[in-house]
Amino acid sequence: MKIHPDEVSSIIKQKIDSFKFDIDIAETGKVVMVGDGIARVFGMENVMAGEMVLFPNDIYGMALNLEEDNIGCIVFGDTHYIKEGDIVRRTKKILQVPVGDAMLGRVVNALGHPIDGKGDIKTDKTFPIERKALGVIQRQPVKEPLQTGLKAIDSMIPIGRGQRELIIGDRQTGKTAIAIDTIINQKETDMYCIYVAIGQKKSSVAKIVETLKANGAMDYTIIVSASASEPAALQYLAPYAGCSIGEYFRDNGKHALVIYDDLSKHAVAYREISLLLRRPPGREAYPGDVFYLHSRLLERASKLNNELGGGSLTALPIIETQADDVTAYIPTNVISITDGQIYLSNRLFYAGIRPAINAGISVSRVGGSAQIKLMKAVTGQLRMDLAQYAELEAFAKFGSDLDKVTLHQLRRGERLREILKQPQYQPLSVAKQIFIIFMGNQGYLDEIDIHKVKDVEHELNLTLESEYQDIMKEIVGASKLNDELKDKMHAVCKKVVEKFKA
Amino acid sequence: MRDIEVSGRYAKAFIELIAPEDHAKLLEDIRGLQELLSQYPEIIRSIDMVILSMPRKKKLAAALAEKLNFSERWESLFQLLVQKRRFSAIIMILSRMEDIILEENNQIIVKLSVAREHDSETMSKITRLLEDILKKKVEFKTRIRPELIAGFHAETSSLIIDGSVKNNLERFIKEKIPQN
């Protein structure tokens, strides 16, 4: 490419011509104390709560505490570069994050700055980090399903677009795995995903990025990361930033899913900030407004009415419990805010039941109306059967003393539980899920050896893919399980099971 | 932080003791003291010294108040500060007092930095501009800073007004030249 000096000089001339010499007026204050990610600033009497302030060395902060003669700020950068007496400027702006399609496939920090080494994000759109949740008039009830690709969830705890479904459980019980599987399952859909990593190891975030890349899920996903090594202020902001990025899609009539992994660490970061700002501690030393911290975030998830484009923002917050204690402060708060919870049990996880979903105490309060009709018809008694099985399981060791009905119930429950097991990163299509659950519910698996149930499922999937694509399409579109469709499904089930009887 | 709060309290209390019509005289005292203490910072250091006995410290402080308009009041203030081991806050207290008195007269002190000395016409232009912005009569504490190139930089306790060429060049670089 040839560079013409006259072109370059004309560009420079244009730039100089368009520049206006101006007097810069800034309201200022002085740093009187700095450390641990916060700063106290004297002056700036007119500063607004939540307003961005500018410290020297281009470090930004946010005014959180407005006191009689000073303000408490959180600092989004290294406080080592700020010293007592430094001048702080008001910006008169609320913190904003870049939003838009250009964000897709990128890994950004809590301020929306790229951290994946792929250069600048070319978008001129920004959204404020804190936005008021939409009102009642702008919303409509949840009515479209969000398929996670996990049999146990889509069948028993269905999630609708615009819903807030909590994933709760101890450490290492597969909470993140459910979230990642859900993202992967959105590959062929119109759903955009935002994964917000709060207080996680950078290596864990890198692993998630690699997994999503390997499964082709990064094309429609944005990762917001505020890792454990970053200031508590950034960890506090990350979910709000992720939510604003998701709201852009929702407000443009699209559908977005935002995963907050996890809000326990978010609450801990907020507790740290609050204690440093000398706000009075309450239960478990959390500040009094910790409920509002999460409710104002999760209320932003919504399904818009048709006049506003009908877009949706679904939230899957994650909470990590300590020793299975769901009665702790933060878990109970978030349980009460969300529209249901998926409870992951330590005991089930180590018993080899994965995903380790405890169907007994997991619930989806609004997802039922969003579940596809056929799934609803097929699953019917699944939750009840599993609950009965769990009750009877204790008697299983007395096998021979049990009556025929009980033995049958145990046999059925055992097989149902087996079919709900699913390996990681292998989400299933709805049609396949409906088929295998239908097979279990109709008793086709009762005579199959428990160790061969997985083989039957595998064979069923292969058969469906190779020979019955048309039935699979019919299942997804069907409004009810009519006799004709039922007969077709029975025929497929018989054909598959026959192979294992021989 | 605490020093700022404490000095504010002392300044307010002291001014309340002086009749409003005498505030101009008080301002003279304040400025005299400010000049003295900035010329001889060792005065504060000496009074703050641990090895100096309390009666000696009080004597030194009393000597400081001798020639002022309100010598008795000043002496009491200095004695109190010495007793409370807060004499080091005197600079902050004086500056706070100055602000309060000027505020009463709708005046403000502006730390004005200019690249070179200006003629009276230019200075009156700057004064008019700043008075328009601040809606107060301004009183300058001027400094020459050649690095500003041209224009001016004004600073009050809560505002920075920067009309210097240096600042505009920095803004030009930020706005017009892409950063990597």
Question: Do the chains contact at A26 and B160, CB–CB below 8 Å?
Answer: yes
User: What is the pLDDT at residue B64?
Assistant: 86
- CA A110 – CA A232 distance, rounded (Å): 11
**Spans of chain A below 70 pLDDT:** 1-3, 397-400, 502
* HSE-up of residue A211 (Cα within 13 Å, Cβ side): 20
Whether the per-residue pLDDT at B1 is higher than 70: the answer is no
**Closest residue of chain A to B178, computed from CA coordinates:** A120
User: What is the pLDDT at residue B179?
Assistant: 60
- CA A435 – CA B38 distance, rounded (Å): 88
Whether the per-residue pLDDT at B46 is higher than 90: the answer is no
The mean pLDDT of B62-71, rounded to a whole number, is: 86
Nearest beta carbon to residue A87 from set B8, B129, B160:
B160
Question: Do the chains contact at A70 and B133, CB–CB below 8 Å?
Answer: no
**Closest residue of chain B to A11, computed from CA coordinates:** B176
**Closest residue of chain B to A33, computed from CA coordinates:** B1
Measured between alpha carbons, how far is residue A23 from residues A97, B169, B171 in Å?
28, 12, 11
**Closest residue of chain B to A39, computed from CA coordinates:** B1
- CA A201 – CA A228 distance, rounded (Å): 6
Whether the CB-CB separation of A141 and A369 falls below 8 Å is answered with yes
Nearest CA-CA distance, residue B46 and chain A, Å: 25
Question: Do the chains contact at B162 and A24, CB–CB below 8 Å?
Answer: yes
Give the burial class of A256: count Cβ atoms within 10 A of its Cβ; 0-12 exposed, 13-18 middle, 19 or more buried. buried
Chain B residue numbers touching A89 (CB-CB < 8 A): 160
User: What is the pLDDT at residue A502?
Assistant: 60
**Closest residue of chain A to B8, computed from CA coordinates:** A69
Nearest CA-CA distance, residue B94 and chain A, Å: 18
Question: Do the chains contact at A19 and B172, CB–CB below 8 Å?
Answer: yes
Question: Do the chains contact at B159 and A28, CB–CB below 8 Å?
Answer: yes
Chain B residue numbers touching A19 (CB-CB < 8 A): 172, 175-176
Interface of A with B (CB under 8 A): 15-16, 19, 21-29, 32-33, 40, 42-45, 69-70, 87, 89
Question: Do the chains contact at A25 and B160, CB–CB below 8 Å?
Answer: yes
CA B40 to chain centroid, in Å, comes to 16
Size of interface A-B (CB pairs under 8 A): 51
Catalytic residue positions of A? 365
Nearest CA-CA distance, residue A272 and chain B, Å: 21
User: What is the pLDDT at residue B178?
Assistant: 66
Chain B residue numbers touching A16 (CB-CB < 8 A): 176
User: What is the pLDDT at residue A10?
Assistant: 83
- For residue A357, the 8-state DSSP code is B
Question: Do the chains contact at B4 and A69, CB–CB below 8 Å?
Answer: yes
User: What is the pLDDT at residue A491?
Assistant: 93
Residue A289 backbone phi and psi in degrees, to 5: -100, 25
User: What is the pLDDT at residue A235?
Assistant: 96
Instruction: Report the predicted TM-score, pTM, of the whole model to 2 decimal places.
Output: 0.86
Nearest beta carbon to residue A40 from set B1, B8, B171:
B1
**Closest residue of chain A to B126, computed from CA coordinates:** A23
Nearest CA-CA distance, residue A349 and chain B, Å: 48
DSSP chain B: -HHHHHHHHHHHHHHHHS-GGGHHHHHHHHHHHHHHHHH-THHHHHHH-SSS-HHHHHHHHHHHHTTSTTHHHHHHHHHHHHHTT-GGGHHHHHHHHHHHHHHHTTEEEEEEEESS---HHHHHHHHHHHHHHHSSEEEEEEEE-GGG-SSEEEE-SSEEEE--HHHHHHHHHHHHS---
Q: Which of A14, A16, A24, A71 has the highest number of chain B CBs within 10 A, making it the mutation to test binding with B?
A: A24
- For residue A366, the 8-state DSSP code is S
Query: So what's the ipTM on this one?
Result: 0.75
Whether the CB-CB separation of A148 and A185 falls below 8 Å is answered with yes
Question: Do the chains contact at A24 and B175, CB–CB below 8 Å?
Answer: no
Chain B residue numbers touching A23 (CB-CB < 8 A): 129, 161-163
Chain A residue numbers touching B168 (CB-CB < 8 A): 21-22
Chain A residue numbers touching B8 (CB-CB < 8 A): 69
- CA A334 – CA A175 distance, rounded (Å): 15
CA angle, A344 then A345 then A348, to 5°: 120
- CA A406 – CA A414 distance, rounded (Å): 12
Chain A residue numbers touching B125 (CB-CB < 8 A): none
- CA A46 – CA A39 distance, rounded (Å): 17
H or E segment and range at residue A242: helix A232-251
Nearest beta carbon to residue B158 from set A15, A19, A43:
A43
Q: Residue type at B28?
A: E
- CA A123 – CA B142 distance, rounded (Å): 45
Nearest CA-CA distance, residue A330 and chain B, Å: 34
Q: Residue type at B146?
A: P
Which is higher by pLDDT, B89 or A199? A199
Chain B residue numbers touching A277 (CB-CB < 8 A): none
The mean pLDDT of B52-74, rounded to a whole number, is: 86
User: What is the pLDDT at residue B50?
Assistant: 82
User: What is the pLDDT at residue A62?
Assistant: 95
Chain B residue numbers touching A44 (CB-CB < 8 A): 158
pLDDT in tens, A287-296: 999 999 999 9
Q: Which of B95, B159, B169 has the highest number of chain A CBs within 10 A, making it the mutation to test binding with A?
A: B159
User: What is the pLDDT at residue B180?
Assistant: 53
